[in-house]
Amino acid sequence: HRSFHRNKYQNARCILNSGETKKLPGREEQLEELKQFFREHLENKSSGSLYVSGQPGTGKTACLSLLMHSPEFALSLQTVYINCTSIASIGGVYKKLSAELKLKSKGRTEHDNITAIQCYIQNSKDMLLVVLDEIDQLCSSKQSILYTIFEWPSLRNARLLLVGIANSLDLTERTLTRLNARCELKPKHIHFPPYTKQQIVEIFKSRLEEAEVLDIFPPVTIELLAAKVSAVSGDVRRALDIGRRAVEIAEQQKKAGNKKVNLQKFVMEAEGNIENLCKDILEPVQVTHVTAVVNKVYSASQSLHEDIEQSFPLQQKIMLCSLMLMLRNQRNKDITIGRLHEVYRRVCNKRNIHSLDQAEFVGLVDLVQTRGILHIIKKKEPRFGKVQLSWDEEEVTAALCDKQLIASILDDTASLNN
Amino acid sequence: ATKRVGTPKRNIHMSNIVEEMIFDKQDVLSTPKLKSKRSLAFGKEKDIEKILLEVTPKKPVEETPKRVQRSNSKYVKDSETPKTPSQKLKMIRSGELTPSFKEREGIEHSKLSKNDLQLARERLHVSVVPLSLPCREKEFENIYTFLEGKINDKCGGCMYISGVPGTGKTATVTGVIRALQKQVQEDMLPAFDYLEINGMRLTEPRQAYVHIYRQLTGKTVAWEHAHALLEKRFMTAAPRRITTVLIVDELDILCNRRQDVVYNLLDWPAKTAACLVVVTIANTMDLPERVLMGKVTSRLGLTRLTFQPYTHKQLQEIVTGRLGGSEAFKGEAIQLVARKVAAVSGDARRALDICRRATEIADSSKGKEICVNILHVQQALSEMIASAKVQAIKRCSRLEQILLQAIAAEVTRTGVEETYFMGVYTQFESIANFVGGILVPNTGQVLRLCSKLGAERLIICEHTRNDIFQKILLNVSTDDIHYALRVTPEATQ
């Protein structure tokens, strides 16, 4: 019994990974549009270009790889998929493409590869589908590569379907303005909007049903998770990540609780009623698990509240307080490390705390920077580096005001001036 | 003709690695391919080539015997004999030759001859990582369950670990890997491959591919080739693929402008065929949001773990844990170190270094009892958390001190941090006249003083060619100057 239930967590964890999938709920519209585009061009034997845009994690690559492997198009189309981040340099895309098409080019230069590809496009009998993923990597100052590639579909006798995938909505309009001059060159644009709450719920349900572990997520928790993610980014990778983390946390908590259960089991076995135990052995993911993960991810200064209590080194606290003191009371928000150091020293001296010298202090500010509270704009001399607060001023003050020492520093305007 | 060959000239790249050369008596001087090719190409030079072939072996015959005798005692392999530098390089690249260090000839001191302090110093060295890290049990558990789950599930994933330096990130991760490998040996867990790269050890982000591939196969290839081979490995499904755990230390160094390396390293785990688990380590907590592109952050995921700086209690526990049962340290001495370090950074390395320095001081002080007390620690602290600037100002010559005072006075007069030499010189003159008994130097001499203080970094000044218009900035606080000069007897006179 126990191994079976343990597998449920495992199954849920496995099924919530962000690998490739066969089913894409929530993307029916876009899939249909893509299919329509392919079918049209297949029937007319004409070439065309397409630009697919959307935020990360909205399923662009998943949709296209699904279509590329679907039997409807796999037989009638010759498909090539290239991820543009995997090429050595921007110009290397031609070499990669000719290698994928198994072409024999005359020489090794870029130009030879281009002529070989163009020759192939103009002479081949089959339709060719070229998918260029992360096409924004091919941008250069003159955009010669992108222009060359997007002009291929308009070559004579070409039967080429070109699909470019990228994140930005207006890449083709912004960088390839010359394509607007000729209508047949302009790529058709399909946008993948971020997933809505309902779509994320559907994705979760379909995935969990597939592994038959729907009972691990009560509907309320899925709704909460989907609402949080869709409100911020609509990135399904994030949603799956949060779901998986929630399952992991639930499992860990259960493991911790297992010791108690074992004891209970021991007692119950002695009494002879095992059925009673098996009923409540699967603990579904609670709302608290999801909120714990979400809060950790989407809030910054909340962690400061906890840190101040626990493990924020004293000198770093004083440094941060001095900075807040200066920001609150001085009109000039242009704070250099040197000026901050002087105020910090006065604050330290007043409280009989040993103060660090400048070389150490620069290191100290750097350590606080790694927490993301500050940002230092580096200058030629470390003394003149500018310190900027990256978090909300009022939130940080509110977090700092809790402690007595810190609150007293924030009121200490006398140490600002000599 | 069977002839012996000489030692190939040691390659420049291998200058720091001493290779054990093994030669056999039966070594045949087979003409390397390159030579034969060349002799074909330059037909006329064939004769010269022949002469060279006859002439060259003679020298080595006289040189080699020593080597042969030495190596005879060890294993002898025919195939492992490099004949030319290029052959040797080839063998190094294919991983047939393993780099080895020359061993020391003297015998190590036995442990018995060391006193308590020396033993303590050895234990306190940063490189001696204890088997189980104290005060990091929660983080250990966290990483362990993550990796164990991934290996059991046979699916890929990413994790991001952050924390300030010296908080035990890398040590904990390698500890987890060791524990997992132990589990594998006991057949409690499926086997897995373990690779690691460190961003700081790469000359260029793309060299990461080369390092990963070398750890997989032992061969060194160019990065384009390595990348293509790795992509082939991770993209295509293999029936008996085992999980690969890849540790990427210093992730922020791998981020270049295109971010293609980071993208690839984090994109492979998303492939179902890869079975790759990537654990990335960096200092910055918000690196994904601040530096990485949106698509890379999205792939990195939300499985994150932050190592908080050590508190003083934890640092105390670490140091006492290192010392074992040794009595070399007084309890309050350890506490002082722990409190001082925890107040600044919470860096365990710092605490251990200060403790080591304290043992050295105690050792040299030749006290009757061999024990580090609070005074030794205080001395070590003042050395390591030292502010040398006040001392430096005190040790300056009289004229330099007056110059510093003049700059400080000019800053207070104008209210701007940036001063010009002209104004400073006027202040200098008036102060010198006020103090009296000083012949006021001319501007050329004061410029020399300026450049000397600039070299000491007490002030920051421009190049001297700007003459009286050069900008001068103080690199110490004005308080420091007043403090240093008030205490010295000359200033009070």
pLDDT tens for each residue of A251-291: 888 877 766 666 666 666 666 554 444 444 667 888 888 88
Phi, psi of B459 (to 5 degrees): -125, 165
Residues in chain B within 8 Å Cβ distance of A296: 304
- Residue A367: which of B164, B417, B475 has the nearest Cβ? B164
Question: In a 3-state reduction of DSSP, which class is residue B281?
Answer: strand
Instruction: Give the distance from residue A21's alpha carbon to the nearest chain B alpha carbon, in angstroms.
Output: 9
Whether the CB-CB separation of A230 and A265 falls below 8 Å is answered with: no
For residue A250, the number of C-alpha atoms closer than 13 Å in the C-beta half-sphere is 28
Please tell me the total number of residues recorded for chain A in this structure.
418
Average pLDDT over residues A285-306: 75
For the whole model, what pTM was predicted? Answer: 0.83
| pLDDT the model gives residue B72 | 44
Closest alpha carbon within chain A to B163? A370
Question: What single string gives the DSSP state of each residue in B392-404?
Answer: HHHTS-HHHHHHH
Q: Which of B305, B223, B220, B286 is nearest to B260 (CA)?
A: B223
CB contact under 8 A, A86 and B417: no
**CA B310 from chain center: how many Å?**
22
Q: Which chain B residues have a beta carbon less than 8 Å from that of A86?
A: 227, 231, 260, 264
Strand-strand pairing, B471-474 and B459-461: antiparallel
Helices A314-329 and A337-350 cross at an angle (nearest 10°) of 110
> Do B298 and A235 count as a contact with CB atoms less than 8 A apart?
yes
pLDDT tens digits, A171-218: 888 888 888 888 888 899 999 999 999 999 999 999 888 888 888 888
Alpha-carbon span A204 to A243, nearest angstrom: 9
The distance in angstroms from the start CA to the end CA of chain B is 93
Long-range contacts of A247-253 (CB under 8 A, 24+ apart): A247/A9, A247/A12, A247/A13, A247/A16, A247/A216, A247/A285, A248/A13, A248/B145, A248/B146, A248/B149, A249/A289, A249/A292, A249/A293, A250/A9, A250/A283, A250/A284, A250/A285, A250/A286, A250/A289, A251/A9, A251/A13, A252/B145, A253/A283, A253/A289
Mutate to test the interface with B, among A55, A134, A289, A357 (most CBs of B within 10 A): A357
How far apart CA A355 and CA A223 sit, in angstroms, is 52
Q: Which residue, among B457, B449, B455, has the nearest Cα to B424 in the 3D structure?
A: B449
CA A131 vs CA A62, B327, B339: distances in Å: 12, 70, 60
Q: Answer whether residue A411 shows pLDDT above 60.
A: yes
Instruction: Please tell me the predicted confidence (pLDDT) of residue A164.
Output: 94
Q: Dihedral of CA A322/A328/A330/A336: which sign?
A: positive
Residue B164 class from Cβ within 10 Å (0-12 exposed, 13-18 middle, 19+ buried)?
buried
| Mean pLDDT taken over chain A | 85
The identity of residue A288, as a single letter, is T
d(CA B214, CA B226) in angstroms, rounded, equals 9
What per-residue confidence (pLDDT) applies to A248?
85
Distance CA B422, CA B143 (A): 62
Please answer yes or no on whether A85 and B227 come within 8 Å at the CB atom. no
User: Given an 8 Å threshold on Cβ–Cβ distance, is B342 in contact with A342?
Assistant: no
Structure confidence at residue A32 (pLDDT): 94
- A274 burial type by CB count under 10 A (0-12 exposed, 13-18 middle, 19+ buried): exposed
Helices (H), A217-286: 219-232, 236-271, 275-279
What is the three-class DSSP state of B238?
coil
CB contact under 8 A, A241 and B301: yes
| Per-residue confidence (pLDDT) for residue B198, from 0 to 100 | 95
**Facing residue for A245 by CB, picked from B231, B303, B310:** B303
Q: What is the pLDDT of residue A145?
A: 92
According to the model, what pLDDT value does residue A310 have? Answer: 67
Contact A342 B301 (CB under 8 A): no
Residue found under tokens 């135990």:
A277
SS3 B299: helix
pLDDT of residue A323: 92
Helices assigned H by DSSP within A371-410 = 393-400, 404-410
Alpha-carbon span A175 to A178, nearest angstrom: 9
B294 at the A interface (CB within 8 A)? Answer: yes
Q: Is there a contact between B477 and A17 if contact means CB atoms under 8 Å apart?
A: no
CB atoms within 10 A of CB B326: 14
Alpha helices in A310-400 (DSSP H): 314-329, 337-350, 358-370, 393-400
CA angle (A415 as vertex; A409, A417 as ends), nearest 5:
145
B151 burial (CB, 10 Å; 0-12 / 13-18 / 19+) is buried
Residues B419 and B472: beta-carbon distance below 8 Å = yes
> Alpha carbon A258 to chain centroid distance?
35
A384: nearest CA partner in chain B: B475
pLDDT bucket at A88, cuts 50 / 70 / 90:
confident
| A16: CB partners within 8 A, 6+ apart | A207, A240, A243, A244, A247
Asked if pLDDT for residue A389 goes beyond 60, the answer is: yes
> Do the beta carbons of residue B89 and residue B11 sit within 8 Å?
yes
* CA within 13 Å, CB half, B75: 4
A312-320: average pLDDT: 88
Residues of B with CB below 8 A from A360's CB?
344, 385, 387
pLDDT along chain B (493 residues), means of 10: 50 43 45 44 48 46 46 48 85 90 80 78 89 91 92 90 92 95 93 94 95 94 94 90 94 91 93 92 90 92 89 92 85 92 91 92 76 88 79 91 94 91 94 88 93 93 88 89 73 44
Would you state the pLDDT for residue B438? 85
Nearest to B285 among A313, A358, A371 (CB): A371
Residues 211 to 250 of B: which have CB under 8 A from any A CB?
224, 227, 231
A395 DSSP 8-state letter? H
